[in-house]
Structure 1
Amino acid sequence: MLITETAVPDVFRIDPEPLPDHRGRFYEAVRRGPLEAAVGHSVEVRQVHCTVSGRNVLRGLHATTLPPGQAKILTCVRGAALTMVVDMRVGSPGFGRYEAVRQDAPSGTALYLPDGIGLGYVALADDTCMNYLCTEEYVPGMVIDVDALDPELGLPWGLTGDPVRSARDAAAPSLRAAAAAGILPTYEDCLRVRTSVPAPPDRTRL
């Protein structure tokens, strides 16, 4: 697999390298060793969940509070989605920076998002299923909402009509308003959490 850092600091794109044969193909979606080597700390999955969305459903932008935080690996396992990741860490050198990534089942492209990164996506096909591998279990009240259509962010959703959104997502504040309200995590806090996670072992010695 090919793991590359995106334009948003500490967010990594994971592109599998499929091995085709007459039966179909095989690929490794995520391998713990190379991922941990890229991000610089251990990654332990504690919860797995999925969303299923119809075409033109827009979810997000969502981040999580600290504590508990919740880093995640996101993959599209059915259908297709245009995914946006936004740096919401107050004080980050990349604050407000975004990356747009198309994810679909055939490509297997995944994204690793650390704490403090906002996530949103629009389904490009009916019955689109997104799979999350999360480092922490969900706790009620942990989700931070920011408007995915915030004009100041100007995310390139490519919408041709009004998206389908939850009432909560539609009422979410702008990134600037969320920062002013003090509900966003700081870059220092996110860095502290990341550096407190044990580094992966030196696998060259195993």
Structure 2
Amino acid sequence: MTISKNNIAGSFVINPDIYEDERGTFFESFNQKEFEKILGNPIQFVQDNHSISNKGVLRGLHFQKGKHAQSKLVRVVRGEVIDVIVDIRKDSPSFGEQFKLRLSEKNKKTLFIPKGVAHGFLALEEETVFVYKCDEYYNKEAESGIIYNDPQWNIDWEFPADQIILSKKDSLLPPFNELEL
């Protein structure tokens, strides 16, 4: 596997070694020992989540606050997404920066998102299956988010704005400058 750091402190992309022959394809999508070697410290994932989204569905930008903050390991097993993370950790050297990439069943990339970083994705294909591991359990009281089109971040979702589909909850998320972190 190949590891690529990005501009968000503590975040990285994993490109697995892919083996293909006449039978099909094989790759290792997760290995705890190798992952902890990359991370430089132990981590225990406690929850796996699956999301199935239609084309144009945007989920995010989400995060959990305080002691319930979650690190996430995300990938796509069917379809393709535009995946965006925004560093909202005020003490981070990359505070205010964003990172965007395409995750797909074809490229098989995995993105690690550290605690305190907001995350969202937009499905580019029907029935896109997005899976992720979390190192903390979901806690409703700790959930938070930022509106996807916050002018402070000016994220290019590479998709027609009038075709984006949001949940009611996501459509009511505040801009970053109204959040109490």
- Post-superposition, which runs of at least 4 consecutive aligned residues in structure 1 deviate over 4 A? none
Contact 2:36 2:43 in 1 (8 A): yes
Query: How many angstroms does 1:93 deviate by?
Result: 1.8
- Superposed CA deviations along residues 146-172 of structure 1, whole A, max 9, x for unmatched, are 011111201111122321001221121
Q: Which whole-Å CA distance do the structure 2 matches of 1:21 and 1:135 have between them?
A: 35
**Higher alpha-carbon Rg:** 1
Which residue of 1 is the match for residue 155 of structure 2? 155
Q: Is there any run of 5+ residues in structure 2 with no aligned partner, and where?
A: none
Which residue of 1 is the match for residue 174 of structure 2? 173
Q: Percent identity?
A: 29
Q: How many residue pairs were aligned?
A: 180
Q: Which whole-Å CA distance do the structure 2 matches of 1:5 and 1:177 have between them?
A: 30
Q: Which whole-Å CA distance do the structure 1 matches of 2:5 and 2:31 have between them?
A: 16
Which residue of 1 is the match for residue 131 of structure 2? 131
2:43 counterpart letter in structure 1: V
Q: Is there any run of 5+ residues in structure 1 with no aligned partner, and where?
A: 185-206
Root mean square deviation of aligned Cα: 1.2
Pair 154,161 (structure 1): closer, same or farther in 2 beyond 3 Å: closer
Q: Secondary structure at the match of 1:67?
A: helix
Query: How many angstroms does 1:38 deviate by?
Result: 2.0
Q: Secondary structure at the match of 1:176?
A: helix
Query: How many angstroms does 1:59 deviate by?
Result: 0.6
1:131 counterpart letter in structure 2: V
Q: Secondary structure at the match of 2:73?
A: strand
TM-score normalised according to structure 1 size = 0.83
Query: How many angstroms does 1:31 deviate by?
Result: 1.8
1:138 counterpart letter in structure 2: Y
TM-score normalised according to structure 2 size = 0.94
Contact 1:87 1:97 in 2 (8 A): yes
Contact 1:16 1:27 in 2 (8 A): yes
Query: How many angstroms does 1:91 deviate by?
Result: 2.6
1:170 counterpart letter in structure 2: S
- Superposed CA deviations along residues 44-102 of structure 1, whole A, max 9, x for unmatched, are 11111111111001110001111122111001011110000110112322111011110
Query: How many angstroms does 1:177 deviate by?
Result: 2.0
Q: Secondary structure at the match of 1:34?
A: helix
